[in-house]
Amino acid sequence: MKKILAVIFASVSLVACNNSTQTMADQNAKFDAYKANFIEGLWKLNPGWASSAGYHKYDSVLVVPDEASRAAQIAFCNANLDSLKDFDINALSDNNKTDHRMIENQLKATEWGIKDGKAYEWDPSGYNVAEGFANMLNNDYDSLDNRLHNFYLRLAFVPAYYEAAKKNIKNPTTEHTQLAIDQNLGGTSVFEKDLQDALQKSGLDVQEKEAITARAKEAADAMKGFAEWLRQLKNEDPRSFRLGKALYEKKFDYEIQSGYTAEQIFDKAVQHKNELHEKMYGITQQLWPKYFGGKAMPSDKLVAIKQMIDTLSINHVQPDSFQAAIEKQIPELEAFIKEKDLIYLDPSKPLVVRKEPEYMAGVAGASINAPGPYDKNGNTYYNVGSLSGWPKDKAESYLREYNDYILQILNIHEAIPGHYTQLIYANQSPSIIKSILGNNAMIEGWAVYAERMMLENGYSGGASGQASPEMWLMYYKWNLRSTCNTILDYSVHVKNMSKKDALNMLVNEAFQQQAEAEGKWKRVSVTQVQLCCYFTGYTEIYDLREEMKKKLGDKFNLKQFHKKFLSYGSAPVKYIKELMEQESK
């Protein structure tokens, strides 16, 4: 009897084994079909989001943000959360596993936003139609006449949109109310000016032009009416712009998708700030005689560091060679990475450096311009801004910020091996889910991690093979910015930090200019959690690397680690970590 059972078991497990390969193929094929379905549903429900992702099938529709639209969102979330349960996550490929979790997170986050977060009640700045319409005029995805036709159909929804907004708003915060007033009044120029310019260039006949102009006027009136309504809104005890601990922690979980809680990340950031200060003070002591001779060093550590930073910031390029300086560094970064064998760079995909296009003019610095998920063959550009035409003192202050040291770190972050390199790898395991729902903490965290990794390996040190103390000091200052972003965000929203204390920290502990600090305060009073993504992602990636080093000992190889890490695409670091740990077992 025992023997028979054993035979039966053996054959069962044999069948199970054959089945499981089959099941995996089935499950993955089924999941791919599910994803296509999910995305189509997502776009239908969110035509504005679809349009900005380059999917224009629903351009003629503007969703009126009423009770019915929220019910439709909830129904979509429930139906899809149900569908997701049908898949055995262990049977999915790594790419599908992470897609599965990212979709699930997106659905739960949406549901949470409607039921608990309720920003549609207290944040009036969430209501603004200008950007969607502006994109239809500025982006060249279809003929102008076709775009204008959809523009016209979409305009019909605007008055109802603002009526619904007024019904939704309850006890809004003062900060978001003011922002909504400013942005809606500013946004009317799309209908009053940009549209007229577009109509002149179009082939529409006079009647069509008149019809669209009449509707555009109604839309602009609705925007102004909304701003005026907000201005007169009786709101004697406005809600605080501070999110509070309970909502903040949840929002952090959904948006950052970290392996740490918000509180753990905050504690880590505070500790990191103190460590950075100690390191910076050590370098300041070391460099002091070189730059200040016999002059006594201030007894306050932070004051001494600040004087050293100010002195080093004088080393910067001239305004007219700003672009050239950035362009010159790209091949240097590539050569260094090859020489040190840090990461594989695909030679068939060189970065196209270009002067920033006309429509972006006035934005200095550098940024990556990547093609969207529906424009796979488009080029990736490195837009480099020019300072031409800037007033002298504004240019000088900007160049001190982006001095010879920081400019190199900026290039590492934005281009190689930062955002640009990460993007190339992400495109190798194509996932439309990850290009739509890509995790910002992973994306920004990688770029911030890359900065430190390059200096650790001696970038900028030339023949000495080591980055100079000056370079490290400036790097630490740069790193303090993302560290203090996290401290600021958590302190303000959870710990009730005052504006005075916030500015004091940014200016005296993170060594920022007063104007920069004021801007940061403005940002933290109308956003939540977003400012944490840089430090959180960086910390998780760095910790993962150190953990792998320990585990693998002599067998650890930095290039392999980078290749493996990036191969999972823009997924949250905690999932990448899980998969890498499994693999290394």
Contact set with Zn ion (CB under 5 A): 444, 447
How far apart CA 285 and CA 210 sit, in angstroms, is: 71
Taking Cα atoms as reference points, which of 402, 438, 433 lies closest to residue 422?
438
Residue 447 or 510: which CB sits closer to Zn ion? 447
Residue 444 or 540: which CB sits closer to Zn ion? 444
CB of 403 to Zn ion, least distance (A): 9
CB of 325 to Zn ion, least distance (A): 14
Question: Which residues are within 8 A (CB) of 347 and not within 5 positions of it... i.e. 6 or more apart?
Answer: none
CB of 447 to Zn ion, least distance (A): 4
Residue type, 7: V
Residue 415 or 517: which CB sits closer to Zn ion? 415
For residue 503, count other CB atoms closer than 10 A to its CB.
Answer: 17
CB of 393 to Zn ion, least distance (A): 10
CB of 380 to Zn ion, least distance (A): 14
Element (H, E) at 355: strand 352-355
Q: Residue number with the shortest CB distance to Zn ion?
A: 447
CB of 314 to Zn ion, least distance (A): 6
Residue 253 or 444: which CB sits closer to Zn ion? 444
Question: Which residues are within 8 A (CB) of 319 and not within 5 positions of it... i.e. 6 or more apart?
Answer: 387, 388, 390, 395, 399
CB of 387 to Zn ion, least distance (A): 12
Share in percent of the chain as helix, strand, coil (round to 5): 70, 0, 25
Element (H, E) at 45: helix 2-45
DSSP letter for each residue of 156-171? TTHHHHHHHHHHH--S
Count Cβ atoms within 10 A of the Cβ of residue 157 and give its class: 0-12 exposed, 13-18 middle, 19 or more buried: middle
Bridge-based pairing state of the strands 366-369 and 352-355: unpaired
CB of 118 to Zn ion, least distance (A): 30
**Axis-axis angle for helices 533-552, 245-256 (nearest 10):** 60
Bridge-based pairing state of the strands 381-384 and 352-355: parallel
- Token pair 């129904």 is found at 75
Phi, psi of 355 (to 5 degrees): -70, 140
CB of 259 to Zn ion, least distance (A): 21
Residue 444 or 489: which CB sits closer to Zn ion? 444
Residue 444 or 451: which CB sits closer to Zn ion? 444
Q: Which two tokens stand for residue 30?
A: 């089924």
Greatest alpha-carbon pair distance for the chain in Å reads 95
- Token pair 């392999």 is found at 560
Residue 265 or 423: which CB sits closer to Zn ion? 423
Residue 50 or 531: which CB sits closer to Zn ion? 531
Residue 396 or 501: which CB sits closer to Zn ion? 396
How far apart CA 248 and CA 277 sit, in angstroms, is: 28
Question: Which residues are within 8 A (CB) of 130 and not within 5 positions of it... i.e. 6 or more apart?
Answer: 183, 184, 186, 187, 188, 190, 223
CB of 413 to Zn ion, least distance (A): 6
CB of 95 to Zn ion, least distance (A): 24
Secondary structure of 520-569 as H, E, C letters: HHHHHHHCCCHHHHHHHHHHHHHHHHHHHHHHHHHHCCHHHHHHHHHHCC
Q: Are 248 and 116 in contact (CB under 8 A)?
A: no
Count Cβ atoms within 10 A of the Cβ of residue 348 and give its class: 0-12 exposed, 13-18 middle, 19 or more buried: exposed
Q: Are 351 and 380 in contact (CB under 8 A)?
A: yes
CB of 444 to Zn ion, least distance (A): 5
Residue 148 or 453: which CB sits closer to Zn ion? 453
Residue 188 or 536: which CB sits closer to Zn ion? 536
CB of 316 to Zn ion, least distance (A): 6
Residue 447 or 580: which CB sits closer to Zn ion? 447
Residue 347 or 389: which CB sits closer to Zn ion? 389
